[in-house]
Amino acid sequence: MATLYTQQASNVRKTWVLMGSFLLGIVAIGYAVSWYLNDPSLVYIALIFALMMNIGSYWFSDKVVLGMTGAEPITKAEAPELYNVVENLAITAGLPMPKVYIMHDPSPNAFATGRDPEHAVVAATTGLLALLDRTELEGVMAHEMSHIGNRDMLVMTVAVVLAGFVAMLADFLSRALMFGGGDNRDRSPILLVLGIAGIILAPIAAQMIQLAISRKREYLADASAALLTRYPEGLASALEKISRSHQPMASASHATAHLFISDPYAAEGKSSIGEKISNLFATHPPAADRIRILREMSK
């Protein structure tokens, strides 16, 4: 069974694979369109911008996320129970003490961010603190600490930024194809079709990769949290309470939704068919499945 540390090397490798794959995709799309428009500079512009986006997102991703969610730093005196829980879990897991933040939002939720354990942040909403008892809060914070220990934040940050950039690039290139000038009448129609197909499919592929990684990491963080606390029922009970809340977060954003322990949009119940379709594109696995697996670990 996976522990808090077994996925670190795997997630680092995934990060490099994602970066390489997306950069190759960007170059391929840029090459097709630049060849069609007879403007080689498009490839170099796209590549340089992609590299700048990667570097910037690696160093400043936590600040961007905190700004988007409206999270505020707290001291031990301001939220002693939350701070003590995080502090105890950090000691137990052998991780550096992360910075602790609070979001003033009645919707129960929490997230972790940061490029590595030395620059990590955990945050909880005021709604979460009001809803859960201490053992349940320990389960949720252990889940977030597991994301830090497993280096999930690194791979997810890169995936999100690259997925977003590919969508931006595809939009830019589609406009270039539509309005671009140059002597394009002699260009190969096959290459044009391939370029258009790449523009359409690239954002979809980027989103699907992001969703797949997000789902897998949630299951792993649940299992790691259960091992860390030695009490799977704490997190299972917390997820049960959180899943009953249908109040979306005020600061909900599709860009950061995957970071939270639960879907921040907290949609009301759908029909069985609608729910199945929705689950295919959800950033989180169904809460019922997560709860069931955790309770099976208690047996």
The partner residues of 111 in beta bridges, in order of sequence, read 123, 260
Determine the Cα angle at 81 with ends 79 and 83, to 5°.
65
Out of 136, 138, 144, 233, pick the active-site residue. 144
Is 148 within 8 Å of 117 (Cβ atoms)?
yes
Long-range contacts of 6-14 (CB under 8 A, 24+ apart): 7/150, 7/151, 7/152, 7/220, 8/149, 8/150, 8/151, 11/150, 11/151, 11/152, 11/154, 11/155, 12/151, 12/154, 12/155, 14/155, 14/213
Whose tokens are 């249908």? That residue is: 246
DSSP 3-state assignment of 123? strand
Secondary-structure breakdown of the chain: helix, strand, coil percentages, each rounded to the nearest 5: 70, 5, 25
Buried b (16+ CB within 10 A) or exposed e, 235-249: bbbbbbebbebeebb
d(CA 47, CA 29): 11
Q: How far apart are CA 202 and CA 232, in angstroms?
A: 39
Cα–chain center distance at 264: 12
275 has catalytic annotation: no
DSSP reduced 3-state for 99: strand
DSSP letters, 240-291, are HHHHH-----TT--TTTGGGBSS-TT-PPP--HHHHHHHHHT-SS--HHHHH
Catalytic residues, which ones? 144
